[in-house]
Structure 1
Amino acid sequence: MLARAVLFSLIPVLAAGVSGVVAALRPPGRRVTSGIQHFAAGVVFAAAAIELLPGVLRQQPWVAIVGFAAGIVVMFAFRAVSSSLERRRTAAGPALPVGLAVATGVDFAVDGLVLGAGFAEAPTTGVLLTVALAVEYLFVGLSLSASMSRGASRRLTAAAPTALSLLTVAGTAVGALLLANASPALLGGVLAFGAVAFMYLATEELLVEAHEQGETALGSVGFFVGFLIYLLLDELIGR
């Protein structure tokens, strides 16, 4: 089971790598970047609202509340750390959006834990999460690379999403090992915590970055299109 989970976790890594190469070779403009970030935010938010929270709230409501509260504390602690890193960054340094990179890395690690828990619960759950994460990473990775492509080297732009997505592989291995025989309460807490990480990435990083790129009606629609596509994907694969 561990080998299968780790093998499937490489699929989102591949998607992140593709996104980095695309952004490095042909960086999108500001409007396209904004649209991509809106779309990615919709996909990530849908993953939390559709995949992670509903089942936990039905079966373990108080565990979900505790896990959600813990997620809030941890993610906003990371926000304080990433803000400090942004202030210390020198003008000569690489054009890496540190806050977005930190939030993305934490999200990828939590994704891995959730993916490992999914395979521990049932192979079909793990496969569904893998497909969802591949879609998410394709656009989140492109969003990250697009945000740094105008100042960083092409090599760094291409490598950043892949490097961060390796945290998913590590998280998957840890999740598959530690959560294989976990109680429903522990699994519920992990899923609720993961939902906060997803929502934080969507609302506090991707959408903020998107608004800084410039507002367009078409770009804003991307959020809802991303949510809808994830909803359709979940319905099709979940059948």
Structure 2
Amino acid sequence: MLIPWAALVLGAIAATVRTFSPSVTSGIQHLAAGVVFAAAATEVLPAIRHSGATSAILIGGFLGLATMLGVKAIGRRLPGAWSLVVLVAIDFFIDGVVVGIGFAAGEEQGTILLIALTAEILFLGLSATEELREVVKSRLAVIATVLAGGALLPLGALLGEPVHMLPPFYLTASFTFALIALLYLVTEELLVEAHQKPDSSLVTSMFFVGFLGLLALETPIG
């Protein structure tokens, strides 16, 4: 989990020293969304489909949706830029849980999810930093705040890792929870934010670059 944490800090530092154009930011968001979507489709979904536990899928799915909607509802009640900071911190924790669940299933699944969520976390770090710069004038304070939020990544991973010891029913429910969390991040955060900025064919294609790139990375050379 030090890898996405380091990406988060690098993104925060980059966002404090320069302001990225809307098209560049949107391109990064599309790229991250494609990577996360590919990870959800290729690593999490197959494990759920082969479980055969319909009730576990429904329970895990509804819990995942309720959690993500609850996070969004909390954010609406907080003032200004701090709402985004709290939302991002909670997202970090959930991302950590998802990666922990992935590594509990196997090294390959965990690695793919780690790569995907590192891209997503990098974007979230950039967004949170840009918002914080409007209310916190000290660059060091901004970076320290983002760094502190990133501490929730390993904490979430520690919580997700023991999942492999659960009975099959609860394991399937946990994977479904992770799948819904990933899809929510793609559809309700990354792409929603991306489409609020100027769009172009090049920017849109970055989603498919991310998707195909992760597929190519996990496909044996042949």
Tell me if TM exceeds 0.5.
yes
Q: Does residue 120 of the first structure (1) align with residue 95 of the second (2)?
A: no
Count of aligned residue pairs for this structure pair: 220
In structure 2, distance between residues paired with 1:128 and 1:47? 6
Which residues of 2 match residues 130-145 of structure 1 at below 5 A? Answer: 130-145=114-129
Distance 1:212 1:46, change over 3 A: same
SS in 2 for 1:179: helix
- What whole-Å deviation, never above 9, does each CA across 1:26-50 have from its counterpart, x for those lacking one? 2211111111112222222222222
Task: Name the structure 2 match of 1:59.
Answer: 51
User: Paired residue for 1:225, among 201, 209, 215?
Assistant: 209
Across the aligned residues of Structure 1 and Structure 2, the Cα RMSD in angstroms comes to: 2.7
Q: CA deviation at 1:183?
A: 1.6
SS in 1 for 2:16: helix
Q: Does residue 179 of the first structure (1) align with residue 172 of the second (2)?
A: no
Amino acid corresponding to residue 169 of structure 1 in structure 2: P
Task: Name the structure 2 match of 1:4.
Answer: none
Distance 1:150 1:235, change over 3 A: farther
User: Paired residue for 1:170, among 144, 155, 170?
Assistant: 155
Amino acid corresponding to residue 83 of structure 1 in structure 2: R
User: Paired residue for 1:83, among 72, 76, 84?
Assistant: 76
Task: Name the structure 1 match of 2:39.
Answer: 47
CA contact (8 A) 1:21 1:158 kept: yes
Report the TM-score when normalising by structure 2.
Answer: 0.83
Task: Name the structure 2 match of 1:13.
Answer: 5
CA contact (8 A) 1:42 1:226 kept: yes
Task: Name the structure 1 match of 2:16.
Answer: 24
SS in 2 for 1:21: helix
Segments of 5+ residues of structure 2 without an aligned counterpart are: none
- 191-200 or 140-149, larger mean C-alpha shift: 140-149
Distance 1:114 1:166, change over 3 A: same
Task: Name the structure 2 match of 1:93.
Answer: none
Q: Does residue 98 of the first structure (1) align with residue 83 of the second (2)?
A: yes
CA contact (8 A) 1:33 1:147 kept: no
Q: CA deviation at 1:159?
A: 4.0
CA contact (8 A) 2:164 2:171 kept: no
CA contact (8 A) 1:145 1:157 kept: yes
In structure 1, distance between residues paired with 2:92 and 2:40? 14
Task: Name the structure 2 match of 1:214.
Answer: 198
User: Paired residue for 2:140, among 141, 155, 164?
Assistant: 155
Q: CA deviation at 1:78?
A: 2.0
In structure 2, distance between residues paired with 1:222 and 1:151? 31
Amino acid corresponding to residue 204 of structure 1 in structure 2: E
In structure 2, distance between residues paired with 1:74 and 1:150? 29
Amino acid corresponding to residue 109 of structure 1 in structure 2: F
Amino acid corresponding to residue 158 of structure 1 in structure 2: I
In structure 2, distance between residues paired with 1:183 and 1:113? 18
Using the aligned pairs only, state the percent identity: 37
In structure 2, distance between residues paired with 1:39 and 1:150? 26
In structure 2, distance between residues paired with 1:119 and 1:127? 7
CA contact (8 A) 1:114 1:194 kept: yes
- 19-28 or 110-119, larger mean C-alpha shift: 110-119
Amino acid corresponding to residue 51 of structure 2 in structure 1: Q
